[in-house]
Amino acid sequence: DAGVTQSPTHLIKTRGQQVTLRCSPISGHKSVSWYQQVLGQGPQFIFQYYEKEERGRGNFPDRFSARQFPNYSSELNVNALLLGDSALYLCASSPTAVYGYTFGSGTRLTVV
């Protein structure tokens, strides 16, 4: 079985641009969560979606948004990119909304 897949693996954007990151959960998993991991730190929670509804939002500005599709895949959008948005963005899926998270390998975003 495929694990959590994220695309792209790397990308470089310019300040002020917008970016869309994609995540496909493990088959049968209905929950997708997004995390930001800045170099040298632990992952920070951004969003959780379960059954296509937002279940939780971390302390991130409104420039960050996400959605979950009927097939449970998800997109994370970040508008008006700042240098400080440079990070590894991780997607995790779970069969429930609480436990059993499996992480993907992440998308490395560099803002220049």
Partner 1 sequence: GESVGLHLPTLSVQEGDNSIINCAYSNSASDYFIWYKQESGKGPQFIIDIRSNMDKRQGQRVTVLLNKTVKHLSLQIAATQPGDSAVYFCAGPYNNNDMRFGAGTRLTVKP
Question: How far is 33 from 77, CA to CA, in rounded Å?
Answer: 13
Name the residues that contact partner 1, by CB under 8 A.
4, 33, 40-45, 48, 55-56, 58, 90, 92, 97-99, 101-106
Question: How far is 44 from 94, CA to CA, in rounded Å?
Answer: 17
In the complex, least distance from residue 84 CB atom to partner 1, rounded to whole angstroms: 18
Dump the DSSP string for 69-97.
-TTS-EEEEE-S--GGG-EEEEEEEESSS
Nearer to partner 1, 11 or 97 (CB): 97
Residues facing 42 on adjacent strands: none
Nearer to partner 1, 98 or 112 (CB): 98
Nearer to partner 1, 13 or 55 (CB): 55
In the complex, least distance from residue 38 CB atom to partner 1, rounded to whole angstroms: 11
**16 to 20, 27, 56, 58, 84: CA distances (angstroms):** 14, 35, 26, 22, 12
In the complex, least distance from residue 52 CB atom to partner 1, rounded to whole angstroms: 15
Nearer to partner 1, 51 or 80 (CB): 51
